[in-house]
Structures are given as C-alpha cells and as structure tokens.
Amino acid sequence: MNTTQHETLFTELTAEQAAIVEGGIYRRLGTIRGKRTETDFVGRNVFGTGDPTQDYEFYIAKRSKVDISLAIGFGFADNIRFNLYDDRDNDGYPGRRIDNGYSVRNPLKNGVLAAGVYRVKVHTPTSTLGGSVQFHLKFNVR
C-alpha cells in the first residue's frame, strides 16, 4: 500500500477503526471531571503477544490541572512509555504531541490542559526481562 492509499484509508475510518488497522487498542474513557479515573490492567507478555500500543481518548470539560501516571500491576516495566496528544480538532488522528514522553518514573504532574479531547498512547516493549507486564493508567483531573 503506498502513502496516498494509506492516507486515504485513514481519512475514511473512525478513530477506533484506525487504531485497529494500526494494530493497537483504542478505548474511549469519556469525560473526566474532578475525579480520579483508572483504566483496566493491560499489557504484553515476554513472547510479544498482546498489543504494542494502547490508545486512550478522554475529554476535559474545562481548563484543568491533570496528573497522568502509569501504575504497574505485574512485571518489570521501566521501559513502558506514554505520550500525550492534543486531539481537539476531533479528526480521529492523535494530533500534535504535547509532551516529551512520560514513563513510570516520569509521570505527568500538574499539567494544565484546555477543554477538549486528548489522547494518551502507551507504548509497551516487545519483551521485558521480567516476563509479563501489566499496567494501568491513572488520571486525576482537578
């Protein structure tokens, strides 16, 4: 598939379908308002099964301070990273990356985000020294 065909395909797909085509998981978390929210545990095992990228979309109703962190449920996960993207144009693409990359040891703290739709992409390693890895994202919007 050439680049033009690839771009055409993605403009015709919803965000959920595009994430599936890219080989990842896409979950809508809905509106997060003044509360703590956690995702279900997800991850990969040492043989590389499971999805390499997890996408979480969320909406912020008003300008807020936001904390986003990874909580490890099982395994060695120092190399799991996540990025935050601005999707306020709501075109289904992740949009502009608005960070330098976050990890277990480097969570987002007191990030000020305007009202709108945002997406977090979690990148899990193909394999880890500790075998299976399970994690979940924690959101705190205030």
Q: What is the pLDDT of residues 52-102, one digit of tens each?
A: 677 777 788 788 888 888 877 666 666 778 888 887 666 656 667 887 678
Are the C-beta atoms of 116 and 32 separated by less than 8 Å? no
Structure token pair of residue 26: 């896409």
Q: Is the pLDDT of residue 12 over 60?
A: no
Q: Is the pLDDT of residue 112 over 80?
A: yes
Structure token pair of residue 13: 């797909």
Q: Tokens 């997060």 appear where?
A: 32
Q: Domain 3-141 classified CATH 2.60.120.380?
A: yes
pTM above 0.85? Answer: no
- CA–CA gap between residue 110 and residue 91 (Å, rounded): 27
pLDDT at 11: 44
Distances in whole angstroms, Cα of residue 75 to Cα of each of 47, 97, 108, 129: 14, 28, 22, 8
- CA–CA gap between residue 54 and residue 120 (Å, rounded): 8
Alpha helices in 1-142 (DSSP H): 3-11, 15-21
Structure token pair of residue 17: 């379908």
Across the range 107-118, mean pLDDT stands at 84
